[in-house]
């Protein structure tokens, strides 16, 4: 039980914070250079990097729950205190959770290249990703990619070569690095090649954040709400441009004037699944607001959804 508690102490939950972007220097309780590894896998590289540079802070971003557990066990076992982890989509996390011009180095080791054409949209490295990096990296901060796929390195090199915010050298074959991954060492023992792209940020581009403020979205309904009114929303879909939501299902709490709607929202390709309360606020008035059980990020789609649900429940809706 205690070990599990220690593991969880190495993870940060940005959606639970009152203010974004995250103030990493406050969480680490020191103002030193900050580095990020995207997709840290088993955590070996990130832990080794942090051991070799104890005067830096490090944050790992991962979407794999298993990788999150492995990293946190490793950090706890080896008493590494300058690393934290975020379980999230890297594109969204970098844009919304980091202060502009605050990162010295962003690292990606052997990411899944998604080689099939139909999976191209899943690749992280594109013009938009370069724009985000140009916002979070410090002047002369760098983005580093190491991959075993020559075509993927070439694609990444093209992205940063045409970017007005970066300078990039040639693609480096079999780079010698003080910190390597287990996969990288095994790959070299087999006589196979790896490729490195190193892009240095030369000019700044402001971030186009989705989360502009930290207000909790809510809306009021000026009528008495019945169970049938809420049930009529089940399955409802609505979209405005690239923002959309779907009402998946609903529940009424026994003995209380409150309903819960299970919602799915989507901002472009970023999806969230959470609950919304429809609750009696005062006589003749109900409130629509986010349920605190699962806190979503307050993206444009989430705010649009709260407003639209209240409109649908209103007499004129």
Model pLDDT for residues 95-123, shown as the tens digit of each residue: 999 999 999 999 999 988 877 777 677 78
DSSP at 215: -
Least confidently predicted of 121-130, 276-285, 303-312: 276-285
- Our CA angle for 112, 116, 122, nearest 5°, is 50
- pLDDT band at 135, cuts 50/70/90? very high
Q: Which two tokens stand for residue 99?
A: 């202060």
How much is the mean pLDDT over the chain? 91
Best CA proximity match to 110, nearest among 26, 192, 233, 170: 192
Residue 34 neighbours by CB under 8 Å, 6+ apart: 24, 25, 56, 57, 58, 59, 102, 103, 104
Q: Does 2 score more than 90 pLDDT?
A: no
**Nearest one of 218, 228, 197 to 278, comparing CA atoms:** 218
pLDDT at position 1 is: 43
Q: Would you place residue 7 in the very low, low, confident or very high pLDDT band (cuts 50, 70, 90)?
A: low
174: phi > 0 → left, psi -120 to 50 → alpha, else beta; which? left
Give the per-residue pLDDT at 6: 54
Q: 54 Cβ partners below 8 Å, 6+ apart? A: 82
**To 10 degrees, what angle do helices 65-77 and 44-52 make?**
40
The beta strands (E) that lie in the chain are given as 34-38, 57-62, 83-87, 103-109, 137-147, 166-168, 172-173, 195-201, 218-221, 237-240, 243-252, 258-267, 270-282, 285-290
Work out the average pLDDT over 227-247: 95
Span 52-75, pLDDT tens digits: 999 999 999 999 999 999 999 999
Task: Identify the pLDDT of residue 115.
Answer: 73
DSSP letter at 171 equals P
Span 76-90, pLDDT tens digits: 999 999 999 999 999
Percent of the chain with pLDDT over 90: 75
Alpha carbons 317 and 294: distance in angstroms, whole number: 27
295-313 confidence digits (pLDDT tens)? 899 999 999 999 999 999 9
Please indicate whether residue 111 or residue 7 has the higher confidence score (pLDDT).
111
Which residues make Cβ contacts (< 8 Å) with residue 268, sequence separation at least 6?
242, 243
Q: Taking a C-beta distance cutoff of 8 angstroms, is the pair 146, 194 a contact?
A: yes
- Give the bridge partners for 270, in sequence order: 267
> What CA–CA distance (Å, rounded) separates 314 from 45?
54
């Amino acid at each position: 039980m205690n070990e599990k508690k220690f593991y969880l102490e190495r993870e940060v939950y940005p959606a639970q914070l009152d203010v974004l972007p995250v103030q990493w220097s406050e969480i680490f309780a020191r103002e030193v250079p900050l580095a990020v590894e995207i997709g840290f896998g088993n955590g070996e590289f990130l832990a080794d990097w942090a051991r070799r540079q104890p005067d830096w802070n490090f944050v790992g971003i991962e979407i794999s729950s298993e990788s999150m557990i492995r990293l946190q066990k490793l950090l706890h076992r080896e008493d590494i205190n300058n690393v934290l982890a975020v379980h999230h989509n890297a594109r969204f996390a970098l844009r919304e959770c980091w202060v502009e011009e605050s990162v010295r180095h962003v690292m990606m080791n052997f990411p899944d290249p998604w080689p099939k054409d139909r999976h191209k949209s899943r690749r992280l490295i594109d013009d938009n990703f370069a724009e985000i990096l140009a916002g979070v990296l410090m002047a002369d901060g760098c983005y580093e990619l190491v991959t075993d796929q020559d075509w993927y390195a070439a694609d990444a090199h093209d992205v940063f070569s045409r970017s007005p915010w970066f300078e990039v050298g040639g693609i480096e074959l079999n780079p010698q690095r003080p910190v390597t991954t287990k996969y990288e060492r095994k790959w070299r023992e087999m006589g196979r090649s790896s490729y490195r792209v190193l892009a240095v940020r030369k000019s700044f581009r402001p971030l186009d954040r989705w989360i502009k403020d930290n207000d909790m979205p809510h809306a009021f309904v000026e009528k008495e709400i019945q169970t049938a009114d809420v049930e009529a929303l089940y399955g409802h879909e609505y979209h405005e441009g690239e923002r959309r939501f779907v009402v998946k299902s609903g529940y009424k709490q026994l003995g209380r004037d409150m309903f819960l709607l299970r919602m799915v929202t989507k901002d472009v390709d970023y999806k969230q699944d959470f609950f919304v309360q429809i609750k009696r606020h005062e006589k003749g008035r109900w409130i629509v607001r986010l349920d605190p059980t699962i806190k979503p990020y307050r993206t444009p789609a989430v705010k649009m959804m709260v407003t639209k649900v209240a409109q649908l429940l209103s007499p004129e809706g």
